[in-house]
Amino acid sequence: MKKIIKIPLGLIITTIIILAFLGIIFFYSDESGLTLFDKIKKNLYEKKSPNELKILSYNVFLRPSIISISDYPEERAQLIGEWIGESDFDIVTLQEAWTSEAVSLIINNSKKRFPYYLTDQPKKESGKATSGGLLVLSRWPIESQRVVAYNECSDSDCLATKGAVHLVIQMTRKESINVITTHLNSGNSKENHESRDSQIKQLKTFIDEIDNKGPLIITGDFNINSLDGTGEYEKLLETLNFEDYHTEDELTINCELEDSLYCEEPTITERLDYIFLKTGETRLLRVETQHLPMRTEDEFKYLSDHRAVLSTFETNFKR
């Protein structure tokens, strides 16, 4: 006959109280210890609906190796790759993904989640110092791809083969979408504006040549500031038939370039990075667009001088 050990009720109650108290301490210390970067990783991944489509566009500031030594490119790329690899995003489009070692880190750290990708686009042309620096990662198969290199450029942008890439991505057995990402000429001089204007016209031709009937999403660093009141942004929307949208936090710049990885707050008001939907598209409904500073507690304060743009769409694709 087994001997039954009686545990005093008071001891049981005391033990429960102690365990509950320790649980509360652990919970709050764990939450309070999270950096903004960790909180973003923790809170943005769960899909609310199987019909959601999440697309990220991010200028990752991974400049060519010869000028990026002091930018911590590999350290930042490691974190970017881990963040993307643990996400619930469907498609990721990156600009300024030039440093080969850093790009490899992003791909290797995210390939389990994103087995399909296209990198180093447009390819480096004769007379250029580097490629266009466009990288696309997808959870879903890439059916086809097209690339265009822009004919016009100005200033230091002429060192890169700036352009756009178009991917047809298979979302379901019956549905696919068109995704274009681009990086337009930067700067505010007359020559810079003329170069962008030429590139936009070439991009329009590129878009008009699409023969896939799926929805069209266009992402990238357009280097057109929708907050400056010059009308260039409105002209972009009209020329390319893009749908305008608004966000609570419209800035997409973390800080000025010369102090890009160290400044505490944005010192200029610019919104340059966008995720557009073709006007009139009914198969996708924009639910939310967020601008993510991606601040870290490392020696570099941000993962890039640009903020990541994350758009969530509700779909009605045929399964």
Q: In what order do the strands lie in the sheet with 273-277?
A: 142-149, 163-170, 176-183, 216-221, 273-277
Element of type H or E holding 237: helix 232-240
The answer, yes or no, to whether residue 154 has pLDDT greater than 70, is yes
**What pLDDT is recorded for position 269?**
81
DSSP 212-228: --S-EEEEEE----TTS
- Note whether 219 and 180 are within 8 A (CB): yes
Q: How far apart are CA 140 and CA 148, in angstroms?
A: 23
* 211-226 residue pLDDT tens: 999 999 999 999 999 9
**Nearest alpha carbon to residue 307 among 297, 296, 292, 295:** 292
The better pLDDT of the pair 281, 248 is held by 281
Token match 């274009």: residue? Answer: 180
pLDDT, tens digit (0-9, with 9 covering 90-100), for 134-145:
999 999 999 999
| Model confidence pLDDT, tens digit, residues 106-132 | 999 999 999 999 999 999 999 999 999
- Domain residue ranges in the chain: 47-315
* H or E stretch at 308: strand 308-315
* Cα angle for residues 68, 272, 262 (degrees, 5° grid): 40
Rounded mean pLDDT of the chain? 86
Q: What is the pLDDT of residue 16?
A: 54
Query: How far is the C-alpha of 60 from the C-alpha of 103, rounded, in Å?
Result: 10
Residue-wise pLDDT tens digits, 234-277: 999 999 999 999 887 788 888 754 555 656 666 678 899 999 99
Protein fold of 47-315 = Deoxyribonuclease I; Chain A (3.60.10)
Tell me the average pLDDT across 7-23.
54
What are the tens digits of pLDDT across the range 23-63? 433 333 333 344 545 555 555 555 557 789 999 999 999 98
pLDDT computed for residue 13 by the predictor: 58
